[in-house]
Amino acid sequence: MSLGGAEAAVAARSTPSRTRRRPDPLFALGVAIVAVAVLLALIGPEIAPYDPTQATLFYNEPPPPLAEWPGLLRATLAGELPQPPHWFGTDASGFDVFSRVIAAPRIDLAIALAANVLSLGVGVLLGLVAGYYTNWATALLMRASDVMQSFPVFISAMILVALAGRATGNIVLALCLLYTPIYIRLTRAEVLTQRKRGFVEAARAMGSTELRCALVHVLPNSLAPALIQSSVTIGFAILLTAGLSFVGAGVRPPTPEWGLMISTGANQIILGEWWPSVFPGIAISLTVFGFAVLGNALERRYDGN
């Protein structure tokens, strides 16, 4: 008997499109930036030349001119200098800006990651449940999500943190409260679609229980939008933490945190002392950009599937 049809069909589509993915410079950039941020989060405070929470004796020292940097670097590595240079200068309280800038990712990333992981976990599970059951409880859940999403994120976060006490844990919880509805909504939408897929019905038809279908077929196929959103969410969590600290509703001084640093340096900027605010700003700017780029690259990859 002729296999003609089947063989031809298989052969025609077997072009290995997998190997043809064009190199994506944007993806590489995103990965690089995020990698640096994670690295600093892990070892930043340890490799900082000064203790980020201890004031030095030098106030408002401007950073050394760029031309001098190579020479200073060589001298530092050779151990010729009595004290490490203040690469980014010092601020009004005498803190070394460079040390604080590279020590800050630890707290910013820790908060952002913790908040994201928690929201993701809770959001995906609730989204799965909401996608399967349509009763008053899930309707209420979705309504509540709606209401929370119609309210400005920053002000809610401020209220939660300021009134619960400015502890790191509270910041994480506040962020969780804000981001979980997003994940619930994303996952639920995907679950509603995936539930109707042919292979899920086939599994039901072959005698699989609904629970097994949900866990084995629907859930793994519904995770993608939430995971892709994660990268962007982590970036925004960092922005939010920094913003909260900027207005005084975030981490407490003297914790090194980018937003806090920008805030304390804000008064000086009008006087022309730009370095306490600008360097942490550049750091935030690049880091969140890195996460956004990564998230976008992941999104494009997934779309191509």
| Footprint (CB under 8 A) of another protein, residues 10-29 | 10, 12-17, 20, 26
184 lies in the binding site for another protein (CB under 8 A): no
Whose structure tokens read 């590489």? 28
133 lies in the binding site for another protein (CB under 8 A): no
CB 179, CB 116: distance < 8 Å = yes
Subset of 253-272 contacting another protein (CB under 8 A): 259, 262, 266, 269-270, 272
Whose structure tokens read 């939430």? 226
Two tokens, residue 218: 């629907």
The CA-based diameter of the chain, rounded to the nearest angstrom, is 91
| Minimum CB distance to another protein smaller for 85 or for 222 | 222
Site size toward another protein, by CB under 8 A: 75
Instruction: Give the whole-angstrom CA distance, residue 87 versus residue 94.
Output: 13
135 lies in the binding site for another protein (CB under 8 A): no
204 lies in the binding site for another protein (CB under 8 A): yes
Subset of 213-252 contacting another protein (CB under 8 A): 217, 220-221, 235-236, 239, 242-243, 246-249
Name which position in 32, 43, 47, 159 contacts another protein (CB under 8 A). 159
Name which position in 35, 47, 81, 147 contacts another protein (CB under 8 A). 147
| Minimum CB distance to another protein smaller for 6 or for 78 | 6
Is residue 118 packed enough to be buried (19+ CB in 10 Å), middle (13-18) or exposed (0-12)? middle
User: From the CB of residue 44, how many other CB atoms can be counted at a distance below 10 Å?
Assistant: 22
152 lies in the binding site for another protein (CB under 8 A): yes
Name the minimum Å distance from CB 216 to another protein. Answer: 9
CB 251, CB 166: distance < 8 Å = yes
φ/ψ of 187, rounded to 5, equals -70, -45
